Amino acid sequence: MATRNRVFISLAVVVAAVAAIVGIAIWAQGPSEPHGDAPADASIVADDTRFLDRPDDASVTVVEFIDFECEVCRAFYPYVEQLREDYAGRIEFAVRYFPMPGHPNSVPAALAAEAAGEQDRFEEMYARLLETQEEWHGTSAVDQAPYFRELAEEIGLDLDDYDAAVADDATVMRIAADFEEGRALGVEGTPTFFVDGEVVELTAFEDLERAVLAALEN
């Protein structure tokens, strides 16, 4: 019965992921400008944006648009963690979803992260998805939803609530909304970082810290 339930859950995730991918596939149609359903009043931080850090006294806001299947996002991960440690209490760090077309498991991974966020465990899932990326990245013919569910179990999520959140259309729309807002803001790829509302031009890992330092000095 457990195996059968897992199959149904996996199928539900695939259906939801396909719906999301269809909705965001317009990414491939042209340059990053507001169009279609993209919000005209796009904001870098939305009311439901997930935060890794949000100290009361933070003076700088860093926002990353992320694709959990993006190898460059994975490469930036330890650097981001060091930045969060070095500037703890001085910056707030937010994450928004930007699953890229061509990454078949990027939407299911985002669904897993958002479902974990519903149980106030976003950071743990965020970390596990990036730390284990080599184990599931690039498996285009394999639906990794069962693997993400195992991660959910590892970090102690209530699996009934997790399954319900992953299968909920509202979760899919939440991810699609981040993608559309990113498009409206000019995001074209991942990772894209904003520091106090300004996009960071990345040529090296250190560019992000330079932008943070400049914002702290202002």
Each residue's pLDDT, cut to its tens digit, for the chain (218 residues) gives: 454 345 344 444 444 444 444 344 444 333 333 333 444 567 999 999 999 999 999 999 999 999 999 999 999 999 999 999 999 999 999 999 999 988 999 999 999 999 999 999 999 999 999 999 999 987 666 789 999 999 999 999 999 999 999 999 999 999 999 999 999 999 999 999 999 999 999 999 999 999 999 999 98
All structural domains of the chain with their residue ranges: 2-217
Q: At what angle do helices 159-167 and 169-184 cross, to 10 degrees?
A: 60
- What is the spatial distance between Cα 62 and Cα 46, in angstroms, rounded to a whole number? 13
* pTM (2 d.p.): 0.83
Residue type for position 51:
F
The pLDDT value given to residue 41: 65
The pLDDT value given to residue 7: 39
User: Considering only the top CATH level, what class is 2-217?
Assistant: alpha beta
Q: At what angle do helices 169-184 and 106-117 cross, to 10 degrees?
A: 110
Residue 51 φ then ψ, to 5°:
-115, 140
The pLDDT value given to residue 61: 98
What DSSP state is assigned to residue 143? -
The pLDDT value given to residue 22: 39
Residue 45, both tokens: 């931080």
The pLDDT value given to residue 28: 38
- What is the spatial distance between Cα 156 and Cα 145, in angstroms, rounded to a whole number? 17
Strands 198-199 and 50-53: unpaired
